[in-house]
Structure 1
């Protein structure tokens, strides 16, 4: 039998490595920008076209490379960062694996120009699919410029998996933020399709946060700082009142590198216990300095996963430092006490004797009397609830249509009478006795279905109310473009928004009545995040996913106390929907506890 094991060619091996290192344009941006920082650059330019599909270019004023290094840097495992295995535990650079440029060159057309500060001429190298097409001397500024063109040109399957430009650009922007927030001593610019998105000058960490996210962030954070033998902590944690439903503004850095570490992130969140509502999360920008010998970053090619020798101690120190910052700068120190002795109510006059309370009762009430037959209802009420539910049929693989039929909701002719009883269970479910049993309605999901069907009626826009004072909402450059994409759907939903010229700020002058002014920024942030999320990508209709998100965000909360008339209106509106049985996301809105089911509960108990 002949041998079947072969050594792969370098071009194939590099493409395999590229699958781990470069999975989308944002990955290439990360690798190129980290190389620029390792070259001691003080100014870095990022230029992209078509969200990185056509061009990704990084220009720096770093140390540059010699003629031979310019060629050698594209070889696999070629690096200037380490020389022996022990160097892995004494890292002071962003890169060290020697895989990035080789992986990028395997799947793109790369042009590099580089010149050292003491050289008169630089070097230009052109590579396509691992093959060097040209190398010659050239005139260029000190530093390095790497242009990556037509990413994945020779891997069409990977190129087909890329999302739309707005999504890919948002990923690039997130990588840009993760790098620029911690390296505030470096100046950065970011151009997309010829448009300047960011122009960041070197400044303090707080000023860099404001440059990236907006000037309003200066008032939202407390400084946190702590030094110990295990870890040195420096950064900013958000005030409790600015907690959000998402963790999109949680940034944790170690030795100048952005990392994902759920345990350390949880340490910061633990400090907010009993200070923020359940389900909300604080924003933070925290930098940790740790002895490189006490950590391991060589876990994954992306280098965002890190292991620490002293994780438990770091958890305790980080939580304590955050608690200290929250307590030291707490608003409690700003309370002012009113020395006035005036009462909020008038004291009773001297000698006043209160009258005995009067208790009303029914002298004919007999708790042991025979109860009336609940089946003897008036004809009008019986007609309203006749055929309220049909018997469910069993189907091992129900479709959406069959599922709607099986949930046994009343048809559009249903009307709840004024005498119909409604009550809440745990302030989550609307309960209504019927002649067949007990109808249970999930108030949040029901309201979500009602809002969704109103929003999807294209011929009828939802009315909004004019705001007394317009509200400014600020976004990142990529998120602002997504807001522009959603503008028509937002205006159909009752919003009136306008983007300020030359900025990423939107002025909101009208909004649906159910939204408070203070909720608008969080509402739009959530909407943009869900629009970008992978969960939403499975829908082909952009309007559908936007309206689903709006309905979910505007629906009444699960624990809201409802008045009887509000419960009646929700049930009535739900029964008038085209698909009352399910929420837009497919969850059931109603269920019926029949008399048989209730009886069975007691029999089986």
Structure 2
């Protein structure tokens, strides 16, 4: 048998390495920007054309390279950072593997110009698919100017799987944002198709956050500063009102390197418990400084995943630091009963107090027990059953009494009414805990989930309007300003035509800001931003083949947003109307996203329940 194992050629090995490191144009941007940072630059420029497919260019004023170093930089595992194995455990620079330029050059046409400060001339090197085409002296400014042209030109399959220019450019802006946040003292500029997108002067972190993410963050930043023997934490978190329903405005940096870590993210979110809604995400830009020996940054080709020596210790310190910052700036949960719809529906709030009610209450068992001297922690057990019965009879408001009479009347009807197949026929409908309707049918009883029924009804109504092109829009007297991060603004701009078809009138209003001039007529006031946040979050996770399904997803989100009020069904007429509308739908049994709307309980099952 002949030998079957052989070494890969350098050409194939380089392409495999490139597949790990350079997955899209944004991957190359990250590597090139990090190299520019490591070169000690104070000014870095990024030039993009055709979402990076045609050109990626990074120009810096760093230390530059000698002719020999310039040539060596394109070799695999060529690095100035690692000399022996111990260096792997004390890494503080960004690029250190020596894979970046070799990987980029394996899948693109690269031209490098570089010059050291004390050199009279610079060096120009041209490389195509790892093959050096030219190396010669040239005139160039101090630092390095690298151009990456026609990315993946020699790997058609990889180029074919790139997404739209909008999506790819958004990923580039993501990488640019992370590097620029990590190094606020360095000036950054970004051009896209000859239009300048960012011009960031070197400064402090707060200035950099506002310059990158928008002026709306300036008044919502809370500083975090904690120093311990093991971990130093610094940066900014957002006030609770700055939390959004979209991910992406959360940034962790370990020793100035951007990382993703769900465990540490949970530590921050947990510190906001009670301050923000459960489906909201707090804003934060946090820097964790730790001994490099305690963290392994070399666990993934993108270097965005790390391993800590003690995860739980990091979690505890971070959680405490965020809580401390929130407490130090007097940010604490407040109770506002006026905004709670459940409390607003209570009869004690809605019905006026009368002299008779007050007199009956003062005669009550609990009133006398708790207002009597030295009785606050003592409740007499003697004849307690009789006392609680007395309390119950006094506490009944007219509304409760009417509800009891209605239940008794309904129970009598259930015995004498003829069985029918029409769900909800007559008045044999019960509202259960404000969230479900129960009604009888011929074979037993039906339980209907109110909010899900409303979702199905609203979805079919909106779908009909969409197909007819007749979705009404309510113009706002005062347009609402809606500011987004640069990445999210790109996505929303792409979705404006679809939003217009569901009743939104939105126009760009300056960089990364939009003016909401009209909204769907049925949308409750104050919900505009929540709906748009959900739309942006949906677009972030949209697959390439989902553009055709975008309209349907928008309608589903709108239907869900319009069906959250369950307090409009107190009257039997409105309950019957909901049931009638539900069973007029083409698919009444399920919500648009597949959840069950109602269930049937047969008489036999009821008999079994009662033995």
**Both structures adopt the same fold (TM-score exceeding 0.5):** yes
Mapping of residues 592-603 of structure 1, within 5 Å:
592-602=600-610
Instruction: Name the counterpart of 1:499.
Output: 508
Instruction: Name the counterpart of 1:145.
Output: 145
Instruction: Name the counterpart of 1:341.
Output: none
Instruction: Name the counterpart of 1:489.
Output: 498
Q: CA deviation at 1:97?
A: 0.8
Q: CA deviation at 1:300?
A: 0.8
The one of 411, 414, 420 equivalent to 1:374 is 414
Q: CA deviation at 1:516?
A: 5.1
SS of the residue 1:69 aligns to: helix
Q: CA deviation at 1:470?
A: 1.5
CA contact (8 A) 2:256 2:287 kept: yes
1:578/1:87 CA distance change after superposition, 3 Å: same
Instruction: Name the counterpart of 2:446.
Output: 439
Q: CA deviation at 1:518?
A: 4.3
Alpha-carbon separation, structure 1, partners of 2:408 and 2:441: 25
CA contact (8 A) 1:51 1:166 kept: yes
CA contact (8 A) 2:531 2:557 kept: no
CA contact (8 A) 1:108 1:128 kept: yes
Mapping of residues 37-436 of structure 1, within 5 Å:
37-331=37-331, 374=414, 377=417, 382=420, 385-386=421-422, 419-425=427-433, 427-436=434-443
Alpha-carbon separation, structure 1, partners of 2:46 and 2:439: 61
Alpha-carbon separation, structure 1, partners of 2:216 and 2:208: 12
The one of 467, 480, 487 equivalent to 2:476 is 467
Q: CA deviation at 1:50?
A: 2.0
The one of 478, 485, 489 equivalent to 1:476 is 485
Q: Which moved more, 1:83-92 or 1:505-514?
A: 505-514
Q: Which moved more, 1:75-84 or 1:571-580?
A: 571-580
Gaps in structure 1 of 5+ consecutive residues: 336-345, 389-415
Q: CA deviation at 1:30?
A: 0.8
SS of the residue 2:414 aligns to: coil
Q: CA deviation at 1:499?
A: 1.0
Alpha-carbon separation, structure 2, partners of 1:370 and 1:359: 20
1:417/1:220 CA distance change after superposition, 3 Å: farther
Gaps in structure 2 of 5+ consecutive residues: 336-351, 364-393
Tell whether 2:573 aligns with 1:572: no
Q: CA deviation at 1:257?
A: 0.7
CA contact (8 A) 2:268 2:322 kept: yes
CA contact (8 A) 1:240 1:275 kept: yes
Alpha-carbon separation, structure 1, partners of 2:397 and 2:63: 90
1:546-591, Cα deviation, whole Å (9 max, x unpaired) = 3334334x24339878434554444333333333333332333333
TM-score of the pair, normalised by structure 1: 0.83
Alpha-carbon separation, structure 1, partners of 2:583 and 2:219: 47
CA contact (8 A) 2:225 2:234 kept: yes
1:122/1:511 CA distance change after superposition, 3 Å: same
Q: CA deviation at 1:225?
A: 0.6
CA contact (8 A) 2:63 2:117 kept: yes
Alpha-carbon separation, structure 2, partners of 1:24 and 1:163: 9
CA contact (8 A) 2:244 2:533 kept: no
Alpha-carbon separation, structure 2, partners of 1:269 and 1:422: 40
Alpha-carbon separation, structure 1, partners of 2:574 and 2:71: 73
1:371/1:100 CA distance change after superposition, 3 Å: closer
Alpha-carbon separation, structure 1, partners of 2:148 and 2:187: 22
1:493/1:61 CA distance change after superposition, 3 Å: same
1 or 2, which has the higher helix percentage? 2
1:459/1:561 CA distance change after superposition, 3 Å: closer
Give the number of equivalent residue pairs.
553
Alpha-carbon separation, structure 2, partners of 1:27 and 1:474: 27
CA RMSD, 1 decimal: 3.3
Tell whether 2:563 aligns with 1:556: yes
Q: CA deviation at 1:601?
A: 4.5
Q: CA deviation at 1:539?
A: 5.6
SS of the residue 1:233 aligns to: strand
Instruction: Name the counterpart of 2:17.
Output: 17
Q: CA deviation at 1:540?
A: 3.2
Q: CA deviation at 1:441?
A: 3.1
Q: CA deviation at 1:75?
A: 0.7
CA contact (8 A) 1:25 1:151 kept: yes
Instruction: Name the counterpart of 1:342.
Output: none
Q: Which moved more, 1:227-236 or 1:272-281?
A: 272-281
CA contact (8 A) 1:55 1:148 kept: yes
1:273-324, Cα deviation, whole Å (9 max, x unpaired) = 2333333332211111111122111111111111222433222221111111
SS of the residue 2:478 aligns to: strand
SS of the residue 2:325 aligns to: helix
1:88/1:581 CA distance change after superposition, 3 Å: same
Alpha-carbon separation, structure 2, partners of 1:49 and 1:441: 55
Q: CA deviation at 1:11?
A: 0.9
